[in-house]
Amino acid sequence: MLLEQLKTRRSIRKFQEKQVEKDKIDLLLKSALLAPSSRSIRPWQFIVVDDCHLLAKLSLCKKHGATFLANAPLAFVVLADPSLSDVWIEDSSIASTLIQLSAHDLGLGSCWIQVRERDYCETEKSEEYIKKLLAIPDSFRVECIIAVGYPAEEKKPYQEETLLYEKIHYNQF
């Protein structure tokens, strides 16, 4: 059941030294391509990165929170064309979430690395660094990178009793 998947899916930042099989990569890509989008415009695109040298360079894309990517066997760079849709951020985020849920369902771990609005250094945005590194056309925006691999760490599932029910409102705030 999906609820169990949601409780047990956790952000994984430590991966085994094991490649993700092509059939699993294909399933993750199909999941992303099946993502709903506003008016079915599908403004997103995906760059699959499995080259260890490129992953190491991508791990430097921002000051904090991406270094573990250097030890991941696989990453999906999620980007979109904002000229196609004013909700490209939302559409890209939905596709990214489906990649993560599908990865978990396949026995893989994943972690979202936020790129949009993050800094590579004092004078350059993370997005610009990635666009240069992966030859992404200027017209596209990079939302995030999803690191994927076989987990080398285990995390406890979320417990229902810790859910923040006080954040739920009915009919009005």
Rounded mean pLDDT of 40-52? 98
Name which of 21, 19, 47 is nearest 32 in CA terms.
47
Q: Which residue has the tokens 């980007």?
A: 79
The encoded tokens of residue 42 equal 């599908």
What tens digit of pLDDT does each residue of 70-129 get?
Answer: 999 999 999 999 999 999 999 999 999 999 999 999 999 999 999 999 999 999 999 999
Amino acid at 113: I
Strand partners, 15: 151
What pLDDT is recorded for position 1?
80
Superfamily of domain 19-154 in the CATH hierarchy: NADH Oxidase (3.40.109.10)
Instruction: Tell me the per-residue pLDDT of 4-38, one tens digit each, with 9 for 90 and over.
Output: 999 999 999 999 999 999 999 999 999 999 999 99
Residue 50: closest CA among 31, 13, 77, 32: 77
- pLDDT recorded at residue 94: 98
| Domain range summary for the chain, segments of one domain joined by + | 19-154
Its pTM stands at: 0.96
pLDDT at 120: 97
